[in-house]
Amino acid sequence: MQALLNAVLVGCVAKGLVLLISLFTNLSFYGKFSFEERGPAGNQLGWAVVLVPIIGSIIVGLMARFGSKAIRGHGIPEAMENIILNESRIPPVITLLKPLSAAISIGTGGPFGAEGPIIATGGAMGSFTGQVIHISSAERKVLLAAGACAGMSAIFGSPLAAILLAIELLLFEFSPRSVIPVALSCITGAGMHLLLFGNDPVFAMPEIPVVSDRALVVYVLMGAGIGVVAALVSRSVYWVEDLFERLPLHWMWWPAIGAVAVGVIGYFAPHTMGVGYDNIKTLLTGQAALSLVVSLCVLKYLSWVMSLGSGTSGGTLAPLFTIGGALGALIGIVVLHWFPGSDINIATAALIGMAAMFAGASRALLTAIVFALETTGQPHGLLPLIGACTTAYFVSFFLMKGSIMTEKIRRRGVTAPDEYTPDVLQQLNASMVLVQPSLMVSGSLTAAQVSMLLDNHSYYHRHLLVTDAAGRFTGYLDREKLTGHDNTTVDKLMPAAAPFVWEEDDITMAVQLLERYQLSVLAVMRKEELSGMMTADAVLRVYSSRQREAARYHSAFFGNTRLLRLMARGKRLLAR
């Protein structure tokens, strides 16, 4: 219920953010107090347009310096870091400062989209409500992801892509307890989109033709090339960040320096400034002028990478879609020029370029494919999207250690999960790890007698299993209790609790009991009889054995070991 309420609020915030961006755009470039949706491209400021992004970035820098440093960046990496390191706790002030700073940044010409800030804001709202109602960190993570992805759904009207984004980048798991709240939030966010933004696809485009076998091969090869560019684009963002880190200036002034590039490029190519959703729509028509395509591919990239690398408040999704769409259209134009019989379509090339760039840069493969389908409503694009995005993902994986979303936190020593596999412990039961105890003691023995037995046995566990005269399990004896109680019988030294597991119970339950009762061994029962015991050492051995088996399976599946080693070595060399 809380997740649904948050989604409604996030939808309202999304609409408010779009209105704020329009307001600041009209104030900055046209001198009008208006909420009319206009881009900066039609301004008549001349050279003065260079100053607009600089002034906006100075304001953002001041907000970050004296408000919260957390408003810097593009949102998703910061959310991931809070989930992994900070128990999904985000400062509540972000819910106000992030959308406001982003509106100022984008409204004064920042080459970003509204989706990154609203994802960060929705995540902050989910985290804040989770802190207020005092829930566990796991539940708070779900609220954070639900709020963040409800924001994406509210902006783009893409609930399924938002759900997949949560799974691939935020939740690090796939379970009913997490997916159901996130799915309900994303559906609610999409409902808010219909209510506040309309029911047309965000990037409506002319119907594209059914792909031929020849064209499909070309699109797949295009995806591989775009994957290389996606890796280079991702690395360049952090290369620029490194350059700013070396400046002998306080980080508060870095966005203003990055804004110089935004303003200068914006003077020569005004369409590179602002949100740029109209640019994506133009590219997807397949009729964009070559000069515009090249400009969006090169100049938009330069403007965005300088601005984002400076640490201002912005996002990555819309710029990646724009750059990727322009690159796809450009490759399509070249291919048609040299190979007119390739059967490709420029609009389809732009579509798969948009999605493949995001898939390669973010490593969110399924999100990229579904997002392109939901926001364009083009079912004929499914096959080329799958082919191009998969090859882009594959190539990018071998060219980068992390992604544009994880590289920032990877540099801080934080490793984000990059694969989703079943918990090995849940696939094993107690019977698979039980061992026969080398020593058990009767409850009628004295502490002195037990000490003598231990002196003659190589039993190294802290706890011993205790049985009655009939050999039935009755509890545990802590060896530390033997000191000073020579004449006390074992049954009087035992604690009241005597936990055990059945042979068919999974090891996860057994590990939880070992930790809860601070035991070194745990009795395993079968039909009211003691079957054996399990230890932490036995669990580790079985776990390691299963991991080695899985590694051998993957080696056999992907090819011979020598080839895998060569590919891994090539990845390390290229990542340097």
**pLDDT score recorded for residue 556:** 47
Residues 336 and 470 in one domain: no
Q: How confident is the model over 202-258, as pLDDT tens digits?
A: 999 999 999 999 999 999 999 999 999 999 999 998 899 889 989 998 999 999 999
End-of-domain residue from the set 381, 411, 441: 411
Q: Which residues pair with 501 in a beta bridge?
A: 524
Q: State the maximum Cα–Cα separation within the chain, in Å, rounded to a whole number.
A: 98
* Strongest mean pLDDT among 264-268, 272-276, 422-426: 264-268
Does residue 384 contact residue 322 with C-beta atoms inside 8 Å? no
| Whether residue 198 has pLDDT greater than 50 | yes
For range 309-324, the mean pLDDT: 87
Whether residue 432 sits in one domain with residue 327 = no
pLDDT for position 576:
52
Residue 545 in any domain: the answer is no
The C-alpha angle with vertex 511 and arms to 508 and 513, in degrees rounded to 5, equals: 110
Give the per-residue pLDDT at 347.
95
- How far is the C-alpha of 270 from the C-alpha of 266, rounded, in Å? 4
Domain for residue 8, yes or no? yes
Mean pLDDT confidence for 513-536: 90
Verify that 122 and 237 share a domain, yes or no: no
The two three-digit tokens of residue 318, written as one number: 């819309």
Q: How confident is the model at residue 561 (pLDDT cuts 50, 70, 90)?
A: very low
pTM, entire model:
0.81
Q: Let me know whether 465 and 395 are in one domain.
A: no
Report pLDDT digits (tens) over 58-67.
999 999 888 8
Cα radius of gyration (the chain): 29
Distance of CA 191 to CAs 12, 17, 122, 150, 157, Å? 11, 17, 16, 10, 8
Residue 310 confidence (pLDDT) above 80: yes
Instruction: Please tell me the predicted confidence (pLDDT) of residue 557.
Output: 45
Q: Is the pLDDT of residue 553 over 70?
A: no
Q: Between these two residues, 158 and 567, which has the higher pLDDT value? A: 158
Residue 15 forms part of a structural domain: yes
Mean pLDDT of 355-369: 93
Q: Is 422 exposed, middle or buried (CB count within 10 Å of its CB: 0-12, 13-18, 19+)?
A: exposed
Sheet with strand 473-478: strands edge to edge = 440-442, 463-467, 473-478
As for how many domains the chain has, the answer is 3
Question: Is 241 in the same domain as 336?
Answer: yes
Say whether pLDDT at 125 is over 90: no
pLDDT at 93: 80
Q: How does DSSP assign 337-363, residue by residue?
A: HH-GGG---HHHHHHHHHHHHHHHHH-
Q: Determine the angle formed by the axes of helices 277-284 and 317-338, rounding to 10 degrees.
A: 20
Virtual torsion, Cα 20, 21, 24, 30, nearest 10 deg: -130
The domain that contains 90 carries what CATH number?
1.10.3080.10
Best CA proximity match to 131, nearest among 75, 99, 96, 87: 87
- State whether 402 and 461 are in the same domain: no
Distance from C-alpha of 251 to C-alpha of 63, rounded to nearest angstrom: 12
Is the model's pLDDT at 424 over the cut of 60? yes
**Whether residue 568 has pLDDT greater than 80:** no
The tens digit of pLDDT for each residue in 494-504 reads 988 899 999 98
Assess whether pLDDT exceeds 70 at residue 74: no
CATH number of residue 509's parent domain:
3.10.580.10
What are the residues whose beta carbons fall under 8 Å from the beta carbon of 551, sequence distance 6 or more?
A: none
Residue 344 has pLDDT above 50, yes or no: yes
Residue 90, in any domain of the structure? yes
Does residue 549 form part of some domain? no
d(CA 248, CA 253): 10
Task: Identify whether residues 374 and 315 lie together within a single domain.
Answer: yes
DSSP 209: P
Letter string b/e over residues 451-481, b meaning 16 or more CB atoms within 10 A of that residue's CB: eeebeeeeeebebbbbbeeeeebbbbbebeb
Mean pLDDT confidence for 128-137: 82
Q: Mark whether 21 and 154 lie in a shared domain.
A: yes
**Predicted pLDDT of residue 572:** 53
Q: What is the pLDDT of residues 175-193, one digit of tens each?
A: 888 899 999 999 999 999 9
321 with 217, same domain: the answer is: yes
The verdict on residue 548 lying in a domain is no
Average pLDDT for 61-78: 79
Answer yes or no: do 433 and 407 share one domain.
no
Q: Measured between alpha carbons, how far is 226 from 88 in angstroms, rounded to an integer? A: 34
* Least trusted range by pLDDT, from 74-88, 429-443, 511-525, 532-546: 74-88
In sequence order, the 6+-apart residues with CB closer than 8 A to the CB of 255 are: 57, 58, 60, 61, 105, 307, 310, 311, 312
CA distance 375 to 152: 12
CA separation for the pair 354, 467 (Å, rounded): 68
**pLDDT > 70: percent of the chain:** 91
Distances (CA, A) of 264 to 99, 309, 398: 25, 17, 35
- Please, what is the Cα angle at 357 between 240 and 193, to 5 degrees? 105
Q: How far apart are CA 453 and CA 507, in angstroms?
A: 31
End position of a domain, from candidates 163, 196, 229? 196
Average pLDDT on 368-396 reads 94
User: Between residues 159 and 67, which one has the greater pLDDT?
Assistant: 159
Domain end call among 370, 386, 411: 411
Q: Which residue from 436, 441, 439 is spatially nearest to 494, judged by alpha carbons?
A: 441
Among 138-147, 368-377, 384-393, the least confident range: 138-147
> Which domain covers residue 446, as residue numbers?
424-540
378 and 490 fall within a common domain = no
What is the pLDDT at residue 215? 94
Per-residue confidence (pLDDT) for residue 418, from 0 to 100:
66
Name beta bridge partners: 506: 429
SS (H, E, C) 411-461: HCCCCCCCCCCCCHHHHCEHHHCCECCCCEEECCCEHHHHHHHHHCCCCCC
- In a shared domain, residues 341 and 479: no
Indicate whether 204 belongs to any domain: no
Q: How many residues does the chain have?
A: 576
Task: Tell me if 235 is assigned to some domain.
Answer: yes
